[in-house]
């Protein structure tokens, strides 16, 4: 009996096992992971390339598979403020997909990068195919947004403490 060969996916493909290791896809079943691995697009970028710009329209978000990116905002004074540096497994750009607003920041590669692209259409298809997996994915995004908001709350509280404990409200 000859040994059974395991097919090797193309270099621009992602496997369900790779998706399983990314928090965004936590809790999704094998069938959903297989579907997403076969349907989501991979994108590659070189060093110092913009992934997207602040103010741009958005219909997709990105999962960083390889490399490092910086998230930054333009300052009124003309400079830039780095908000975060992201590494593999992190995702970004999701706010604009869920709130249907323009990009709130820009993202630039710090080295060669590989991304998984998740479009609004991909989410809609997942919703229609498997509402449980869609719900888990959205819950995973929500948890990450809540974690980020807690960090911003701490930064704002520290800032207010330094400028005389003045009240700044939401909205």
Decide: helix, strand or coil at residue 57. Answer: coil
Instruction: State pLDDT tens for residues 25-68.
Output: 999 999 999 999 999 999 999 999 999 999 999 999 999 999 99
Quick one: pLDDT at residue 166?
A: 61
Give dist(CA 63, CA 89) in Å, integer: 6
Phi/psi of residue 40, nearest 5 degrees? -80, 145
Tell me, what's the pLDDT at 1? 47
Considering the domain 16-159 in this protein, what is its CATH number? 2.60.120.10
pTM for this entry: 0.83
């Amino acid at each position: 009996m000859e040994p059974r060969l395991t097919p090797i996916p193309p270099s621009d493909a992602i496997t369900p096992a790779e998706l399983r290791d990314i928090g965004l896809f936590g809790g999704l079943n094998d069938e959903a992971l297989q579907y997403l691995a076969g349907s989501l697009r991979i994108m590659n970028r070189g060093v110092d390339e913009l992934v997207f710009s602040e103010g741009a329209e958005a219909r997709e978000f990105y999962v960083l598979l390889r490399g490092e990116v910086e998230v930054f905002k333009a300052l009124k004074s003309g400079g830039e403020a780095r908000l975060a540096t992201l590494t593999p497994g992190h995702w970004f750009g999701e706010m604009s997909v869920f709130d249907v607003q323009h990009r709130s920041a820009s993202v630039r590669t710090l080295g060669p990068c590989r991304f998984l692209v998740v479009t609004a259409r991909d989410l809609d298809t997942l919703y229609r195919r498997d509402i449980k997996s869609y719900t888990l994915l959205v819950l995973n995004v929500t948890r990450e947004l809540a974690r980020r908001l807690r960090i911003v709350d701490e930064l704002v509280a520290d800032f207010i403490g330094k400028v005389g404990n003045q009240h700044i409200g939401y909205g």
